[in-house]
Structures are given as C-alpha cells and as structure tokens.
Structure 1
C-alpha cells in the first residue's frame, strides 16, 4: 500500500459518502462526476483495496471503506475546524500582542489604552515592553512599537496617531521667585532642566504668531536622560523645561505647572505606531483604539 496519499482525495471521498452519490458529490465540490470517480479510483489504487461498491443505481461502502470513512471524516472535520479557527484569528483580535514603547509615553499613553483594549477584546494577551532603546521589531518579535517625535528613515510602516505638541513649562513657585519670561530671548537668564537624549537639549526654536522664528541657547542647571525625570525635576521647582503635551496636560489643568510663552510655538512632533509588513487585525484594532483615545484627549 502506498504511504504517500493525496489528502485532497480524502476530502473527495468523505464528500462522496456524505452526499450519497457521485452526482451530488460533484455538485458540492464544483467539479464533474467523472473527476470524482477518478479521485476515488486513484485513492483505492493508492490504498490497495476497494472502498466503494458501485452499481448503475446505487453505491455502498465496503467494510474497509466504512472504517476508512470514519477515520477520514474526523480528519476532514478537524481540518475544517482548524481553517475556521484561523479565519477567526484573521477576523477577530486574539492571541498575544507584543508592544514596545518609550519610558515616558509607555506608562502615560500606551498602558491606559491597553487596559481599554483588553476590555474590548478579551481574547488578546498584551505584553508592554517599556524601554527608551530603539528596538528591532522583527528580531525582537514585536507586533508594534509606539514612537514619539520624528521618525528615522526606515523600511518599517507607520501610522501617525496624533500630533505631539511641546510645552515650555515651570511651576508657579519658580516663576514667582525668578520671574516669568515675556520673550524667548529672556530664557538664557533662567535655570533650565535639560533632557539629554535630545539631539540639541539646550537649543530651541520658537515661532511667534506672525511666523517669525527665534533660536535661543539656554543653560542647563540640571539634566536627566528621561522625560519623566525632567518632569519630576521641574515639578520640584528646579527650573523651566520643555515637556510633551501629554505629560504636562494634567499639571497645567490643575495649575501645578504654568505654560510659559504660549504665544510662541515649538516645533510640532508626532506620535506614531510603527510595524513591519501588513498589520494584523489585532495591530489595526489597537492602532484604531489609540487614535480614538488621543482624538478625545
């Protein structure tokens, strides 16, 4: 008996038995009666024994055919179930979702969104990896990375989630003690908390309502390599600094921070979802949820 059986013929055989005739099986399979007969004949040849007894009016299974059908029906049913489960995975978010995000926006933006996402799609198991290092999505097996600022040239695909505005801020206590700058040129005389991971942490460009740009050089009296740490130092009255709007928003609304020089804009950045290849349904749905939340913020 041959050991290499064409599995397609098993499906034809199961359909034939369940349909009850060659004609009905051909209709279900979208093929000809002769083709169904050829598949059966080849299968019997490969197995080395007859499976179906044929007459001009009816067909019946041999004893071996009955036993073989019982086993084949289970195989075909399992295969159909596997295809159905795969289709559900394609159409419904489920399984693991591995996300990379930076040390500031990971806890502030991504983590709250993930909690809402799991409520909406409970079959997803998220894993949030917070790191300021630029991860390799493919090598490190990430589904998506959330990045802030300007994107580097890359072969990866991206979706812009929202604009990211930067705010010049200080505490009311600091401004009460040192005065509030009225023009960008006055910043050079103030204490400054610098974010050292920026390309130019002490050089900033401001644009007024008329579009005129002013470049200022500030002097750092304290520095940190994390935006969260800069935020903490500013909140302690160490000086002025620039923070992303999503980090400063609550403190500004509560009056714990003051937006300094609000009529002078800093360069606009973006918040992006970055992924490799065609996004899966779970990646697309997570990106959609992030956009919803950021639009409502």
Structure 2
C-alpha cells in the first residue's frame, strides 16, 4: 500500500494539525481551503483510515491520526535534515576528493597544493592517483583531473589554471662533452631524450623572435614514458630534451641544467582542471580556486 501514497499529502496533513484549522492551514500553505480538505480526504482514502473527525466548529485527531501525525513529523524532520546535509556538502568542502594528474606535475605542483588545501579544509580527505595515461574521469570515478598540454575535445567541463613553457635543456657535463647548440639546426647532431607519451616526441618546432619557425627532428638516444624519468636522464648527462618549466626551473637555478636556445620559443602548453557534470561540487570548486591562488 505504501507505494500508492502521495507523500506530499503528509506535509499538508502535518501543516493542518499544526495550524489547527483548514482555513489557517490553507493560508500557511498558499492553497485554497478546499484543496487542503481534498488532500486530507485523499490521504485518508489512500491509507484506508480516518485521521480527523470534523465538525462545523472544530476538528480533532482520531487515535490513528495521532499516531500517524507523530510519524509524519519524524519523517518530515528526517527529510529536512537530509536536505540540509546535501546543502552543506554542496556549499562546504567535505568528503573525499579523488583526483588524477600526471606523475611529474602531481609531484611538483599538485601534491604540495593538496597539503595546504587539506590544512584549510580538514573535512576533506584526498585520494591522489598519479598516471601518465589519460584517465577516463567518469568511468574511473574521479572528481577532478589536472591535465597539462593541449586539451582534446571532451564532454567534460574544463577550467584553465595556467600554462607552462617548454624548455630545451641539457646538463653542463653533457654540453662540456658534446658542445652547446647555438641554432635549431645544430640539434640533430645531439643525442635526444624522448618522452614516449607524446605523439611526436623528437620533432620540435622553434619560433624565433621575429616569428619565423624552424622544425627539427632529433636523433633518439633514449626514451622514457614520463617527464620525471626524462629529467633524470638529462640530469645524468644522457642528452638534451624538451621539458616543462615547472619541472626544471629549480635545476636551472641550481646550475644542474642549462636552458638552451633561449632566443627561441617552443609551443606553450596549458594546465586545465577537468571534471564531469554541469556544476562541480564544493570540494572540487574549492581546490580549483586553491590551485588558482584564490585561497590563502
């Protein structure tokens, strides 16, 4: 029988008992007195019991009505609490933030940001998955993915967090042994370290200050499947490579690596936060803001 009950009538019945009359209940609910009476009559019909005894001057609850009213009050209170909890989770970051990003960017940027984010929002737990393959955000149940490079067409929502420069680098030891390239045309004579995850890892296009472009194809000496491993090979003097600035800037400042052909630009990439759904939950919105520097 429960599936035949119109649950909206529970709220009308409870409001009627609270108001004490059909007229007062109608005013509170914003409906006509006849509609309130109709709802209660149909509720009694659906339940198969009499809830109210009506007279021209007053109404009173039957024994079944008293018991049912107490249950209705509890049910509606539980519903309001559930709605409030959903609202809190929508407005206040809480729960588990499950996100994925590449190994190099995750270690260099995302992990430190997550640590400070967790201090700001102690009700949030973190599940960080580092992988250099493009994860299926929906199928793998991620709240958020941080992706570097150039976005593919997708049904996911995307927020640009910033960008990065690509830098051509080599170690001082390698350059002392093999010489320093001065022009893009010098590069094919050098040992290239390829990041195999890229579609054309050894085909590099340089843009001069005047806008002229020069594309070179490197000779492969080694390859690795993520940028952190490529960096390790370059630091060890294995060859030259193109790497993102966030991964090598500290090495350049420490003179562990040398930035080459500074008078030319390589294509710049973007850093994007991508997530499913029309509107991100509070924990996702808050972490995107944190990555953008909008929180302390």
1:99 is aligned to 99
CA distance in 2, matches of 1:174, 1:23: 91
Between 168-177 and 75-84, the greater mean CA deviation after superposition: 168-177
CA distance in 2, matches of 1:196, 1:175: 23
2:77 is aligned to 77
CA distance in 2, matches of 1:150, 1:47: 61
Quote the RMSD (CA, aligned, Å): 2.3
Between 75-84 and 198-207, the greater mean CA deviation after superposition: 198-207
Task: Spell out the pairing of 1:123-162 with structure 2 (5 A cutoff).
Answer: 123-162=123-162
1:187 is aligned to 187
Describe the shift of the 1:205–1:2 C-alpha distance in structure 2 as closer, same or farther (beyond 3 A): closer
Between 47-56 and 261-270, the greater mean CA deviation after superposition: 47-56
- Listed one character per residue, the Cα deviations across residues 165-218 of structure 1 (whole Å, up to 9, x for unaligned) are 101112233333333222222222323322222222222111111111122222
- On the 8 A contact 2:132/2:197 being kept in 1, the answer is no
2:227 is aligned to 227
2:9 is aligned to 9
CA distance in 1, matches of 2:219, 2:246: 25
Matched position secondary structure for 1:292: coil
1:47 is aligned to 47
- Distance apart, 1:2 and its partner CA: 7.8
- Listed one character per residue, the Cα deviations across residues 56-89 of structure 1 (whole Å, up to 9, x for unaligned) are 4433322221111111110111111111112222
The reply on whether 1:236 has 2:236 as its aligned counterpart is yes
Matched position secondary structure for 1:70: helix
CA distance in 2, matches of 1:219, 1:31: 80
2:169 is aligned to 169
2:90 is aligned to 90
Describe the shift of the 1:3–1:259 C-alpha distance in structure 2 as closer, same or farther (beyond 3 A): closer
- Distance apart, 1:96 and its partner CA: 2.7
Task: Spell out the pairing of 1:29-44 with structure 2 (5 A cutoff).
Answer: 29-44=29-44
CA distance in 1, matches of 2:3, 2:67: 18
- Listed one character per residue, the Cα deviations across residues 8-66 of structure 1 (whole Å, up to 9, x for unaligned) are 11111111112222222222212122211111122222333322233444333222211
1:290 is aligned to 291
1:58 is aligned to 58
CA distance in 1, matches of 2:16, 2:115: 50
Matched position secondary structure for 1:237: coil
- Listed one character per residue, the Cα deviations across residues 148-175 of structure 1 (whole Å, up to 9, x for unaligned) are 1112233333222211210111223333
CA distance in 2, matches of 1:126, 1:193: 34
Between 67-76 and 133-142, the greater mean CA deviation after superposition: 133-142
CA distance in 2, matches of 1:43, 1:222: 77
CA distance in 1, matches of 2:58, 2:118: 56
How many aligned positions are there? 295
- Distance apart, 1:236 and its partner CA: 1.4
TM-score where L is the length of structure 1: 0.90
